[in-house]
A and B are shown apart, each in its own frame.
Chain A
Amino acid sequence: MNGTIQAPTIEYALLAPMLVVFGAAIVGVLVEAFAPRYLRSAIHLPLTLLSLAGAFALTVWQALKGVPTKPAAMGAVAVDGPALFIWGTILVLAFVSVMLINDEGHFVAAAAAVPGSAEEEQALYSGAAHTEIYPLVLFAVGGMLLFPASNDLLVAFVALEVMSLPLYLLCGLARRRRLLSQEAAVKYFLLGAFSSAFFLYGTALLYGYAGSIDLARINAALGTVGGQDTLLYLGAGMLGVGLLFKIGAAPFQAWKPDVYQGSPTPITALMASGTLVAAFGALLRVFWVGLGGLDWDWSPVLWGVAILTMVVGAVLAITQTDIKRMLAYSSIAHGGFLLVGVVATGTAAQNTSALSGILFYLVAYGVTTVGAFAVVTMVRDAGGEAWHLSRWAGLGKRSPLLAAVFAFFLLAFAGIPLTSGFFGKYAVFQAAVSGGATPLVIVGVVASAVAAFFYVRIIVLMFFSDPAADGPSVVLPSRGTAAVVGFAALATVVLGVYPEPVLHLAHSAAQSLFVR
C-alpha cells in the first residue's frame, strides 16, 4: 500500500436502493430544519413514499439486470439474490407501514412534554405534530436494507445501530398511554444497547480469531486457524446473541411483548415485519456465510434455541389478555418456526430450498402482520385503541367485515390451508425435513397446534360472544389504513391460493445463495 490511501471503488448503481432511502432521509432532516411547520407533513409523506417506491423500482431493476456474483463496495456489502429479495420485501412492508404511520392520532404532539401536563394540553390544542417521524422511519428502513446485505461484521454493526436507534425513538412517541410507550422505548434502548455490545464483542473476538471482519475471510479461516477455538466459539456465540436478540428468539425475547405493546401500533407493525425480515437476512448471512463451515457446531445450539423459542412463544401467548402482547408472542413463535429453516443446512440444493422457504415465509408473515396491526389500530374506545381481549368480544356482531378480515389474518398466522401462512410453514418445514431436522419439525407442528388455540380463541371471542354494552367501536378507517388492510388481506389470499409466482421468485432468488 506504501502508506497511500486508495479511494475505495464503490458500485453506486448496486447500492442505489439504499442510497435513495438514506438520501430521502437526509432531505427529510433538511425539510424539518428549513420548511415551515404547516408545509412539513405535506412534503414528508410524498417524499417518503416516493423514495420507498423508487428504491423498490431500483431493486427490481437490479434483479432484472442480473444478480452480481461478487460483493460490492470493496467487499463490504453483498448485493446478491437473497439480499435483493429481502430488500424488495422490506420496501413493500415499509411502504404499507408508512401508510399506517401517516394516519392521524397515533403519535404524540409534543414528546418532551410530561404526560398529563398543561404543556401537553397546549401542544394538543395547537395541533403540534412530530413530523420527524418520517425521516426517522426512513433512516430505520435504510438500516434494515443495509443489515442483511452487509458482508462484514463492522458494516453489520453500523447497520444494526442505524436501524435500531430511530426505532428506539419512535417507540416512545405514542399519543395515548404515554408512560407505557416511554417505558417501552427505554427498555428497548437499554436491552438493545446491551445486545449490541454482545454483537460488538463477538466481532472483536472473531477478529482476534480470523484476523478479519470479512465474512468470507472468517469462513476461510475456520479451516486454517488452529488452537484458537475458544476465541472462535465465544465470538460466534456472542455474535449469535446480538442477532437472536433482534429476531426475539428465546431466551432473548423478553423485550418483545413490552415493546410491541407500548409502541405506537404503526411502529409495532413496522418492527414486527421489517425488522424481523432484516434481522433474519443478517442472521442467515452471518451463520451461512461467515460461519458456514461451522454448521456442525452451531446447528445443535440453534436447534435448542429454535425449540425454546417456539415453545415459549406458543405457550406464553395462551394466557395473554392483551391483543398486542398476544401478537408479540405470536411473532416470537413465528421466529422459532423460521429458525427451523435456518438450521436445515446441508447440500446446496437443500440450502436453496430452505432459503427460499424462509424468504417466502418472511413475505407471507410480514404482510399478514402489518394487516393484523392495522386492524388493531381501528378498534378503539374512549381511551384509544382497545387492546384488552375482553373488549374484542362480539366484535363480529358489530363489524362483521373487519372481524372476518382479522379472523382471516389469524388463520393465516395459524397456517390454515388456502392462506399464505400455510405455504410459508409448508415450505420451511418441508425443507427442514429433507435437511434431517424432522424432530424439530415435529416440535414446530405441535407448537403450531398450541398456537392455533389462541388464534382460534380470538375468533371464537369475536364471533360467538356477546358484545359488551360499552364495547369499543370500530372507527371508520382512513383511506390509508383501509388500503393497508385491503392490501394485506388480498396478499394473504393470493399467496395462499396462488403462491406460485412468489414461490418461484423466492426460489430463483435463493438459487445463487449468498455471494461470498
Chain B
Amino acid sequence: MEPASHVASIIAHSGGAIGVAWLMIAFPLIGAAALLLGGRASDKYGHLLGVLMAVASFVVAALAFFQVLGFQPGERRRGVPLYDFIPGIAKVGLLVDPLSISFCLLITFVGSLIHIYSIGYMSHDPARRRFFAYLNLFVAAMLLLVLADNYVGLFVGWEGVGLASYLLIGFWQHKPSAATAAKKAFIVNRVGDFGLLIGIFTIFATFHSLAFADVFSAAGGASSGTLTAIGLLLLVGACGKSAQLPLQSWLLDAMEGPTPVSALIHAATMVTAGVYLIVRSGPIFQGAEAAQLVVTIVGVATLLAGAIIGTAKDDIKKALAGSTMSQIGYMVLAAGIGPAGYAFAIAHLITHGFFKADLFLGAGSVMHGMNDEVNMRKYGGLRKVMPITFVTFLIGYLAIIGFPLLSGYFTKDGIIEVAMEHNAILGWLAVLGAGITGFYMSRLVFMTFFGARRWEPTAHPHESPAVMTWPLIILSIGALGLGAFLIIGNRFMTFLAPAVGAPEELPSFNPFTATGLVTLALVAIGVAFAWFRYGAAEVPAVAPRGSFLTTFARRDLYGDALNEALFMRPGQWLTRLAVFFDNRGIDGLVNGLAAFIGGSSGRMRRIQTGFVRSYALSIFVGAALLAGAWLVVGNL
C-alpha cells in the first residue's frame, strides 16, 4: 500500500490556458444552450456550431495540457478557483492536474471526432440539431465531472452526464424500446447515484469539507471503518455509472441510442467515470483495504461477465457493449489495486477510449451501409465493399484482443501483470477474460467482414462518406500506437504520479513474462476457435438453440431476470406500500397542513373588509396592544 504523501500539493494560482480552464466547460455548454434555444432557425448550421464548440474545447484542453507539461512534476497540480458563493463555506473551483487533463484530452479529442462523424451519421435525421445539443451538453457535463476540485462539482457533472445519456439513449423516443432503455438506464443509475450521494454525505460528515484537497489530506486521520464505508458507497456509484456488476444491466439496452452516442458515452467516456471516481478518491481507498478488495472482485467478475455476454450476442452493438463492460472491468480491477494499478487503469481507459470508439463508429458505418441492420447473421463478406471501415475496424479489433505491439497489448497486459502480482487468482481470471475476448471479438469480425454474404435482398452496402471515415482513420491510428507511447518507459506512470502517486519501484516493460506468453496463447486459441466456428464454417441465418451455457450468455447471465425477481417485483410491492402510507400518512399530514394554512388564509382574509373604519380600528387595537405589552414588559 502506498502512502498518499506521494501526491503533490495543489498550487492555487495559474494563468494561461489553465486559468481559463472553465472555457472547456463553457464552450459546449453555450453550444448546447444555443442549439436548444435557437429553434429551427439554427437547423442549417446547428451541427457545425456543435462541432465548433467541441473543437474549441479541445483546443483549450490541448493548450492547458502543454502548459501542465511545462511545469516541474511537483508543480503540475493547479487549482482554478472560480467562485466563492458564501465565503469559507461553499466554494467552486476546478482542478487541472495530470489526471484530469488526461481525461479532458480524451473527452474533447474523441468527442470532437464523434461530433464530426455524427454530421454524416445523422444527416438524414430531422432532429439533428437537438442531437448535437445533447452531445454538447454531455461534453460539458463530463468535463465538469473530471475538472471539479470537489465532490459537489463532480456530482453535478455526474448527474449531467446521466441526464445527457438518458436523453440520447431515448433520442428516438418514438421507438418504445428506446424509451424503455432510456428509462432503464436512468433508474439503474439512480441506484448508483444514490450510493454516491450517501458516500458524499458521509465524506462531509467525516471531514467537514467536500474539497478534494481537504478530504484527501485528512483521509489518513479517519478510521478505516469509516473509509471502508465511504469507499463502498463510492463504489456503488461507480458500479452504476460504469455498468459494473451488479448494476450492469442498463448498458446493453443503452445501445438503442444512435451509434455515435454508444461510441462516445457508452464506450469511450461516460462509462469510465466510475474508474475516474475510484482513482481520484485513491487516498480514501488506500485507507480501506476491504473496500479495495471489493473493488477488485467487482472488476474481475464484470470483466468475465461482460466477455461471456459478448460471446453470445448477434446484435453487433450489444456484442460490443458486452466488451465495453468487460474492458471497464479490467480498469476497475486495476483501480482497486492501488497506485501500482492506477496508471494502467487510466492508460487502458484512454487506449480503450480510442479503439472502442473506433469499433463502435466502425459498427455504425456498417449499419449506415446496411439499412441500420444490426444482426451480424445478416452481414458477412463486407470487407470488399467497405475497405476503409474494414481496415480501421481490424486495427481496433487487434488492439482490443491485445495483438502484440498494438495499444491494448500494452495497457491490458499491464493490468494483467499487476493483478497477477497483487493476487494470483485475480490475475488468472483476468488472463481467462483475455482469452474470451479473443474469441468473441474474432467472432464479431468474422461474422461481419468475412464469410458468405448473407445480406437481406434490399441491402446495398457501400462505403460511408469521408466525414465518417476520417474519424475512423484517426481513431485507428490512436488504437495502433497510443499504448506503446504511454507504457514504454513508464511515460504515463511518471506523468500521472504527481496526481495519484506511484509505486516505489517503477515496473519495467518485459514482453516475455510467463503471464504475457500464456495470455497470448489463450488469445490465439480464442481466435482460432472463432475462426473454426464462424470464419471457416457457414453461419446459420437463425441462431441455433445452443447449449445451456449459450442461453445463459444470451440472457445476459440472467441479469434482468435476477433484477426483476429480486428488485423489480419486491420494489413494486414496496412502492405500492409506500404510496399507501404516503397517501394516508405523510400526504395526510402535508395536505392537512396546507389545507390548514389555506383555510386560515381564507378566514383571515375576511378581516380585510375594505372599510377604512375597521382598518383604523385594527390600528387602534394594535396600538393599545403594543403600548400595553410594552407597559407590561417594562414593568416586569
Residues of A within 8 A of B (CB): 186-187, 190-191, 194-195, 198, 229-230, 232-234, 236-238, 240-241, 244-245, 250-252, 254-255, 257-258, 294, 297-298, 300-301, 304-305, 312, 315-319, 417, 426, 450, 497
Contacts and interface: CB of A to CB of B under 8 A. Distances in A.
A21 to B, nearest CB: 30
A245 B602 CA distance: 24
A190 B626 contact: no
Nearest to B636: A297
Contacts of A238: 623, 627
Given A187-B615, A254-B615, A417-B85, 15 more contacts: A187-B612, A191-B612, A195-B619, A234-B630, A234-B631, A241-B626, A244-B626, A252-B619, A254-B607, A257-B608, A301-B629, A316-B601, A316-B605, A318-B598, A318-B601
B605 A319 contact: yes
Given A251-B621, A318-B601, A450-B597, A233 B627 contact: yes
Contacts of B513: none
A306 B607 CA distance: 19
8 closest A-B pairs by CB: A237-B627, A251-B622, A254-B615, A319-B601, A241-B623, A318-B601, A297-B634, A237-B630
Nearest to B609: A254
A495 to B, nearest CB: 13
B626 A191 contact: no
Contacts of B627: 233-234, 237-238, 241
Interface of B: 83, 85-86, 597-598, 600-602, 604-605, 607-608, 610, 612, 614-616, 618-619, 621-623, 625-631, 633-635
Nearest to B628: A237
14 contacts: A198-B623, A233-B635, A234-B631, A240-B630, A241-B619, A241-B627, A251-B619, A251-B622, A252-B618, A297-B633, A316-B601, A319-B602, A426-B86, A450-B597
A190 B630 contact: no
B182 to A, nearest CB: 23
Contacts of A194: 616, 619
Contacts of B622: 241, 250-252
Contacts of A229: 634-635
Nearest to B37: A400
Contacts of A301: 626, 629-630, 633
Contacts of A304: 629
A320 B528 CA distance: 79
Contacts of B630: 233-234, 236-237, 240, 297-298, 301
A34 B614 CA distance: 44
A237 B615 CA distance: 19
Nearest to B625: A251
B615 A255 contact: yes
A300 B85 CA distance: 34
A301 B626 CA distance: 7
Contacts of A245: 619
A198 B627 CA distance: 11
B629 A190 contact: no
A127 to B, nearest CB: 34
Nearest to A308: B622
A254 B604 contact: no
A316 B597 contact: no
Nearest to B599: A319
Contacts of B610: 258
A255 B611 CA distance: 10
Contacts of A244: 626
B616 A190 contact: yes
A186 B633 contact: no
Contacts of B615: 187, 191, 254-255
Nearest to A188: B612
A191 B634 contact: no
A452 to B, nearest CB: 12
Contacts of B635: 229, 233
B605 to A, nearest CB: 6
Q: Tell me which of B614, B618, B623 has the highest count of chain A C-beta atoms within 10 A of its own C-beta.
A: B623
B211 to A, nearest CB: 19
A417 B604 CA distance: 31
Nearest to A230: B631
Contacts of A234: 627, 630-631
Contact of B612 (A186, A305, A317, A497): A186
A164 to B, nearest CB: 15
Nearest to A315: B601
A312 B600 CA distance: 10
A50 to B, nearest CB: 38
Contacts of A258: 608, 610
A316 B619 contact: no
A237 B623 CA distance: 7
A229 B631 CA distance: 8
B619 A240 contact: no
Contacts of A233: 627, 630-631, 634-635
A209 B19 CA distance: 65
Contacts of A319: 598, 601-602, 605
A406 to B, nearest CB: 18
A294 B631 CA distance: 12
A234 B623 CA distance: 10
Nearest to B90: A417
A393 B358 CA distance: 51
Contacts of B618: 251-252, 254
A304 B630 CA distance: 11
Nearest to A240: B626
A300 B633 contact: yes
A186 B613 CA distance: 12
B609 to A, nearest CB: 9
A236 B600 CA distance: 32
B363 to A, nearest CB: 41
A245 B612 CA distance: 14
Contacts of A300: 629, 633
Nearest to B83: A497
Nearest to B598: A318
B593 to A, nearest CB: 10
Contacts of B626: 237, 240-241, 244, 301, 305
A158 to B, nearest CB: 22
Contact of B619 (A254, A294, A305, A417): A254
Given A297-B630, A318-B597, A190 B623 contact: no
B36 to A, nearest CB: 13
Contacts of B631: 230, 233-234, 237
Nearest to B596: A315
Nearest to A423: B86
Contacts of A305: 626
A298 B631 CA distance: 10
Contacts of A450: 597
Contacts of B607: 254
Contacts of B614: 254
B597 A315 contact: yes
B612 to A, nearest CB: 5
Given A234-B631, A240-B626, A241-B626, A316 B616 contact: no
Nearest to A193: B616
A305 B578 CA distance: 42
Contacts of A254: 607-608, 614-615, 618-619
A316 B608 contact: yes
Contacts of A297: 630, 633-634
Contacts of A315: 597, 600-601, 604
A191 B619 contact: yes
Contacts of A241: 619, 622-623, 626-627
A420 to B, nearest CB: 13
A257 B609 CA distance: 11
A85 B271 CA distance: 54
B635 to A, nearest CB: 7
B86 to A, nearest CB: 7
Contacts of B619: 191, 194-195, 198, 241, 245, 251-252, 254
B619 to A, nearest CB: 5
Most buried by A among B607, B614, B630: B630
